Chain A
Amino acid sequence: MNELLANAVIPTWQQIVMWLIGGLLIYLAIRKEMEPTLLLPLGFGTILVNIPLSGAVGPHGPLTTLFSAGISNELFPLILFIGIGAMIDFGPILTNPKLMLFGAAAQFGIFFTLCLASMFFGINDAASIGIIGAADGPTSIVVAQKLNSNYLGAIMVAAYSYMALVPMIQPPVIKALTTKKERMIRMPYEQKNVSRTTRILFPIIITVIAGVVAPESVALIGFLMFGNLIRECGVLNSLSETAQKVLANLVTIFLGLTIASQMQAESFLRLETLLILGLGLVAFIFDTAGGVLFAKLLNLFSKKKINPMIGAAGISAFPMSGRVVHKLGLEADPSNFLLMHSIGVNVSGQIASVIAGGLILNFFM
């Protein structure tokens, strides 16, 4: 018996708490289907790295090696962006480009949270916490990593958890800021054809414009738009399919597990983690408020009224946010279909959040 237990180790209470957190993430991923592709590997990885003397981390640990190879140089999130770009159909914003303004307005939460977080953290950590409001995992990882944030694990958990919780976070904020009459505003959708040339030139032009204004965003926006170019060019269908499915899935598996290497008890179980989770929620709330209030502001000057709820879809959590707005529209008026508008705004939020990430890097690097 003694020989059997000779190599056994006793976990600390902090490590046991981390096992429970890992278990909770796995539960949320499986039972509640909250961002399962990321929360499940993250949850399992959390348990893996908090086993005393875990061989998964450390100088020769596979997760540490993967972290050096794919996260510390931002490679994994950027490669994932190729897959995301290949999945996105920019059609709705190409038919109605004005919707892109809402994507810009809904980044307000990022900058508001940055200011708020700067009261508690150094400016680089505050900026990394603010970018949780990008509602976009890869952007959060790239920004936090480039700014050498000490809280990558907490930032990732907050970003992905709140993205999954968008259907619970956004409706009360939207309802608090709009009247039922406003939520019932109808927005007819005009189906327009977009030429193939426009679809091909769009990702190239966006990369150039964003790159000139915020050169640090070139990698982020460039990989996203490259993925979209593969999709839209029409001659690389097999590559597009690979990027959307195999590549994105493969990177996601490694991304979740690798991020978990930052979830070790000693670096995660701190008061700051709770504060980051709270600030992340603030970012999502103010993103939503920014989009809705901007739409209400436009309505003061516009003859053709906009349903202010679509502003909330400018948060980049795609496609949940677009669906939430559509559902709220149906709740106010069962024959009011806002889906095409809200998805358009949602897609523009994806572009705007990446530009916001690049801007933050430009400010603080």
Chain B
Amino acid sequence: MFNPLAFITNLKFMGVGMLTIVAVMGAIILMTMLLNKMYKD
């Protein structure tokens, strides 16, 4: 079955997925910066 409309329907997963990954990686970046500040050699 070929359903071209499905592309548009599922774009929301792309939006939410990419935003969530960027947010999670952003949180990990902040935590890493904090760790680097707190525990210096």
Contact yes or no, A193 B20, CB < 8 A: no
- Give the number of residue pairs across the A-B interface with Cβ within 8 Å: 111
A110 adjacent to chain B (CB < 8 Å): yes
Contact yes or no, A359 B21, CB < 8 A: yes
Contact yes or no, A118 B35, CB < 8 A: no
Nearest CB to that of A123 among chain B residues? B10
Contact yes or no, A194 B36, CB < 8 A: yes
A97: contacting residue among B2, B20, B22, B29, CB under 8 A:
B29
A100: contacting residue among B1, B2, B16, B29, CB under 8 A:
B29
List of A residues within 8 angstroms of B24 by Cβ: 104, 209-210, 213-214, 355
List of A residues within 8 angstroms of B9 by Cβ: 118
Hey, what's the 0/1 contact readout for B1-41 against A, CB within 8 Å counting as 1? 11110110111011011101111111111011101100111
List of A residues within 8 angstroms of B28 by Cβ: 97, 100, 205-206, 209, 351
Hey, what's the 0/1 contact readout for A330-359 against B, CB within 8 Å counting as 1? 000000000000000000100110011001
Interface size on A, as a range, is: 35 or more
Alpha-carbon separation in the docked complex, A206 to B9 (Å): 32
Contact yes or no, A100 B13, CB < 8 A: no
Could you tell me which residues of chain A, from 191 to 219, have a CB within 8 Å of some CB in chain B? 193-195, 197-198, 201-202, 205-206, 209-210, 213-214
Contact yes or no, A348 B40, CB < 8 A: no
A189 adjacent to chain B (CB < 8 Å): no
A104: contacting residue among B7, B25, B41, CB under 8 A:
B25
Nearest CB to that of B33 among chain A residues? A97
Contact yes or no, B35 A202, CB < 8 A: yes
List of B residues within 8 angstroms of A356 by Cβ: 17, 21
Alpha-carbon separation in the docked complex, A115 to B7 (Å): 5
Contact yes or no, A198 B4, CB < 8 A: no
Hey, what's the 0/1 contact readout for A107-142 against B, CB within 8 Å counting as 1? 110111011101110010010000000000000000
CB distance from B37 to the nearest CB of A (A): 10
List of B residues within 8 angstroms of A355 by Cβ: 21, 24-25
List of A residues within 8 angstroms of B13 by Cβ: 111, 114-115, 363
A115: contacting residue among B1, B14, B16, B20, CB under 8 A:
B14
Nearest CB to that of A360 among chain B residues? B17
Contact yes or no, B3 A114, CB < 8 A: no
Contact yes or no, A352 B25, CB < 8 A: yes
Contact yes or no, B25 A108, CB < 8 A: no
Binding site for A on B (CB under 8 A): 1-4, 6-7, 9-11, 13-14, 16-18, 20-29, 31-33, 35-36, 39-41
Given contacts A202-B35, A206-B28, A355-B25, 11 further A-B contacts (CB under 8 A): A97-B29, A97-B36, A100-B32, A108-B14, A118-B10, A209-B28, A213-B23, A213-B24, A214-B20, A348-B25, A352-B25
